[in-house]
Structure 1
Amino acid sequence: MSGGYSKSDASAAPMEFGYWKIRGLGAVFRMLLEYKEAKYEDKQYCTGEDWFKQRKPAILEMNPLANLPYLVDGDVCVCQTNAILQYLGEKFGLYGASAAQKIRTEELLCEIYDVRNGMIDLVYPFKNVCRDIEEFDAKAEGIVKSPPFAKFEAILSFKDNASGGKWFVLADGPGVADFHIWEMLDQHKMLAERIGGEPVLDKFPKCKAFYEAFRALPTLQKYFASDDYKTMDINNKIANTYFA
């Protein structure tokens, strides 16, 4: 288990975050909670029995949409990735202050989820997308040659960017969308290194500067030094992934 702590909520019960014991979508939330030094318990499920038989029945009592990831915050139980990100974004002031910023945050969360789905189609052999390692290597090479970050590079250069191109929405630091975008940049960077392709970040200088600024955030250094980042599988080996 890993967790953060904040003096501001020292008397509050810790939030409970639940996800598989992989980076996957979980890394996005672990980084966000660590960044805010939140008081939380990180429930990492290793097997289907751990989740489906032991914890999911109780989560279903709180929310009929029970799924991984989930967040329990007092009497509130939120399920589904973007719903949890909106909840935490509003809780921590990371979702945007204006209507325009909130819309941009929602747009980016949808856009980066499309990028994630592209990675899922590559690394998991569902629907015969990649039936063997040879198909994986061929498709991975194509992704590394044309990484799906041109729209994100454009947003950082766009005239309405509040930070002048350092962060995606907010003026003075990362918003909730930045955490998912960074995780996908990192996974694509690792994929390029895995297959010996050209560096992904060099193709997108503003995204590269964002990546480096995010990686240097002081309250995230504990996470980046932890096994949750350094050694945890990116994807589920039970699903026979090729990029773990």
Structure 2
Amino acid sequence: MSSTSSMVLGYWDIRGLAHAIRLLLEFTDTSYEEKRYICGEAPDYDRSQWLDVKFKLDLDFPNLPYLMDGNNKITQSNAILRYIARKHNMCGDTEEEKIRVDIMENQIMDFRMQLIRLCYNSDHVSFLSRHQLSKFPFYCCSHQPNLCWWWLFSLSFPLFQEKMKPQYLEQLPGQLKLFSLFLGKYSWFAGEKLTFVDFLTYDVLDQNRMFEPKCLDEFPNLKAFMCRFEALEKIAAYLQSDCFFKMPINNKMAKWGNKCIC
């Protein structure tokens, strides 16, 4: 992080959706500071640090992460990445590169969401007694409206993570194969030019190899991509710095990736 701050990146005190943004800010030597919001402990997972200011920041669509750069106030993680990338010509030059960037930007987000769904499954509502579950949406609206989203989200997924993890690992090689084929013999996912989608892809692949350490073993070009990215001078420096933290990936209510590495 540069000593003279201008941009402000706001997010939870986790890697989450901000990690690729941090990597891109560091790589482009962008001057920035962070505003990190802390989620409370179980059972309430208090989010008041963020909720108290959420609608006071003049954001069009208040959410985390956000980026403030002078009069420009941006939400949506990929919009933030594109904003930074445009300043440094990292969105692709040729039409072919731009198409590959557009495809990867969306495909890697779909892939990311699969692991997120596994980590934030409905077991995380266990802090509510089961007999209260049917009353949960009404309880939330009157007492803790910030939890309403969680009730709606949880209903879509199986109760126990044990049912989801084997299914995820079963389909993981097939997903990774598609990325391997798309990368092919290129150095980067747009071709031979480094773009912001490489930062996204590195982050998501890194999370998956932390979740299943051998998952990239069958795909030498993906492993080479990871090594190539980590060897970039400014990335290597950041990964070795005190500013970098490998964990937690997810927030405290998650079932995996929610702990700091001591």
Structure 1 CA distance for aligned equivalents of residues 167 and 244 of structure 2: 25
CA contact (8 A) 2:14 2:249 kept: yes
Give the structure 2 partner of residue 215 of structure 1.
230
CA contact (8 A) 2:7 2:31 kept: yes
How far is the alpha carbon of 1:100 from its aligned partner? Answer: 2.9
In the TM superposition, 1:81-230 aligns within 5 A as 81-125=77-121, 126-127=154-155, 129-144=157-172, 146=173, 148-157=175-184, 165-169=186-190, 171-172=192-193, 174-193=194-213, 199-226=214-241, 229-230=244-245
Aligned residue-pair number: 219
Return closer, same or farther for 1:230/1:84 CA change in 2, 3 Å cut-off.
Answer: closer
SS of equivalent residue, structure 2 residue 52: helix
Give the structure 2 partner of residue 57 of structure 1.
55
Give the structure 2 partner of residue 196 of structure 1.
none
For structure 2, the 5+ residue unaligned runs are 40-46, 122-153
Give the structure 1 partner of residue 34 of structure 2.
42
RMSD in angstroms over aligned alpha carbons? 2.1
Is 1:20 aligned with 2:12? yes
The structure richer in helix per residue is 1
Return closer, same or farther for 1:222/1:127 CA change in 2, 3 Å cut-off.
Answer: farther
1:71 pairs, out of 56, 67, 70, with 67
Identical counterparts, % of pairs:
32
Structure 1 CA distance for aligned equivalents of residues 9 and 28 of structure 2: 14
CA contact (8 A) 2:118 2:161 kept: no
SS of equivalent residue, structure 1 residue 17: strand
* 1:176 aligned partner, one-letter code: F
- Structure number with bigger Rg: 2
When normalised by structure 2's length, the TM-score is 0.76
Return closer, same or farther for 1:192/1:143 CA change in 2, 3 Å cut-off.
Answer: farther
CA contact (8 A) 1:147 1:200 kept: no
How far is the alpha carbon of 1:130 from its aligned partner? Answer: 4.9
* 2:155 aligned partner, one-letter code: K
SS of equivalent residue, structure 1 residue 38: coil
How far is the alpha carbon of 1:32 from its aligned partner? Answer: 0.6
Structure 2 CA distance for aligned equivalents of residues 43 and 147 of structure 1: 38
CA contact (8 A) 1:15 1:41 kept: yes
